[in-house]
């Protein structure tokens, strides 16, 4: 089955053509990063206007790259939650119109779950093997930082999430404080390579590193507000040399990523998950990828890192995931709603080997 995927949850207008869940025929993205950079973050109404301007050309480009016509599309998938409502509405209106015009099934996709699937889109054999389950997924982006455990029957639950800032948000805010521009993740990753990760002893929230015991209910939760505040005071009223800036950035990045590594490793052992999957925009970070590889080796777990092209927002993960829903008989009608928030009850994940989806 050939599925067209559409993604417009934030500031990327994306379209992709995917066959049978993993054969990516085309993936096209129009980024709005430069447009929003001057504001230090995404402006929802501005993002929606750009989606409206870009969505038709982006879909046309994807079809041209895949060398197929719109009449060959057998299903339409679109991110319906979570995300910025003005931005989501543009993609959903387009997808619903196309599904109605061509009389093909429509599937609304949870962006958060799609990120998890993006890590496996080129390795479907890993998802077909029940021995790889339960899978632990660390989802780290500008909007989300959470640990998910997925059982072989598809039941999935969020076992830990951030109590304040997401990891990507913590990087963006640090970059803004330091005057490094937006988005913060890539520039922090680059500058940190020449810095000393031990120059500053920044706090690592909810890890017990400061001698304060972590409450059991927060064992797998995250908090990045403390490290951000500590960094703010460390540079306040100071003029930093290039090396001093690199040391601050390297120490800050090490603190943020260190928490992610520690929590993921602890959760993998606690829930006895043979596979650790890491996905989302922050999964592009080279320091995080290196440290997670070391941790996975130390505790004897298989590590699946989302390819960088599927870490950031894209439509291939949307179309690929939709195939699994459709093969289980699920499709959504034109009354399908959009939702800005993430529901912690993730329901049944359809790509698990023993998943049985409820009736549509």
Spell out the domains of the chain, with CATH numbers in brackets.
2-117+311-348 (3.30.420.40), 131-306 (3.30.420.40)
Write down the pLDDT at residue 256. 98
| pLDDT for the residue numbered 169 | 94
Residue 142, marked binder? yes
Give residue 197's pLDDT: 97
Give me the sheet containing 302-305, strands edge to edge.
302-305, 275-279, 135-140, 145-150, 155-161, 345-348
Ligand-binding site membership of 23 (annotated):
no
State yes or no: 185 annotated in a binding site.
yes
With H, G, I as helix, E, B as strand and everything else as coil, classify residue 145: strand
83 is in an annotated binding site: no
| 172 has binding-site annotation | yes
Positions of the chain with pLDDT lower than 70, given as ranges? 359-360
195 is in an annotated binding site: no
pLDDT in tens, 153-190: 999 999 999 999 999 999 999 999 999 998 999 999 99
| Residue 80 counted as an annotated binding residue | no
Secondary structure E strands in the chain? 2-7, 12-19, 23-31, 75-81, 106-110, 135-140, 145-150, 155-161, 275-279, 302-305, 345-348
**31-83 pLDDT per residue, tens:** 888 778 777 778 889 989 999 999 999 999 999 999 999 999 999 999 999 99
Q: Say whether 158 sits in a helix, a strand or coil.
A: strand
Is residue 139 annotated as involved in ligand binding? Answer: yes
Q: State yes or no: 280 annotated in a binding site.
A: no
Residue 304 marked in a binding site: no
The per-residue b/e assignment along 320-349, b for 16 or more CB within 10 angstroms, e otherwise, is bbbbbbbebebbbeeebebeeebeeebebb
- Alpha-helix residue ranges (DSSP H) falling in 71-203: 85-102, 111-118, 124-128, 167-177, 184-192
- Does 71 carry a binding-site annotation? no
Is 132 labelled a binding residue? no
């Amino acid at each position: 089955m050939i599925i067209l995927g559409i993604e417009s949850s934030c500031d990327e207008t994306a379209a992709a053509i995917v066959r049978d869940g993993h054969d990516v025929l085309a993936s096209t993205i129009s980024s709005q990063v430069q447009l929003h950079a001057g504001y230090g973050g995404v402006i929802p109404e501005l993002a929606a206007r750009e989606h409206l301007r870009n969505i038709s050309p982006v879909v046309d480009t994807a079809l041209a790259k895949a060398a197929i016509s719109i009449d060959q599309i057998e299903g339409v998938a679109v991110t319906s939650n979570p995300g910025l409502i003005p931005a989501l509405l543009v993609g959903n209106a387009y997808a619903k119109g196309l599904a109605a015009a061509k009389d093909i099934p429509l599937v609304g996709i949870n962006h958060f779950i799609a990120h998890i699937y993006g890590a496996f889109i080129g390795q479907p054999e890993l998802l077909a093997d029940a021995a790889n389950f339960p899978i632990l997924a660390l989802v780290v982006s500008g909007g989300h930082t959470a640990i998910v455990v997925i059982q072989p029957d598809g039941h999935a639950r969020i076992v830990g999430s951030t109590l304040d800032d997401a990891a990507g948000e913590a990087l963006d805010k640090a970059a803004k404080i330091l005057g490094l521009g937006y988005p913060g993740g890539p520039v922090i990753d680059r500058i940190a390579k020449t810095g000393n990760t031990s120059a500053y002893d920044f706090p690592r929230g909810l890890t017990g590193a400061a001698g304060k015991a972590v409450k059991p209910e927060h064992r797998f939760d995250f908090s990045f507000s403390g490290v951000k505040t500590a960094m703010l005071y460390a540079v306040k009223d100071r003029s930093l040399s290039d090396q001093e800036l690199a040391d601050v950035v390297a120490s800050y990045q090490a603190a943020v990523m260190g928490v992610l590594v520690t929590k993921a490793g602890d959760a993998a052992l606690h829930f006895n998950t043979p596979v650790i999957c890491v996905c989302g925009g922050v999964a592009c970070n080279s320091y995080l990828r290196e440290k997670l590889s070391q941790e996975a080796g130390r505790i004897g777990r298989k590590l699946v890192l989302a390819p960088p092209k599927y870490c950031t927002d894209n439509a291939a993960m949307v179309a690929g995931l939709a195939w699994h829903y459709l093969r289980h008989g699920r499709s959504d009608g034109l009354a399908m709603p959009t939702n800005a928030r993430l529901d912690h009850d993730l329901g049944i994940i359809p790509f698990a080997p023993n998943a049985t989806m409820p009736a549509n």
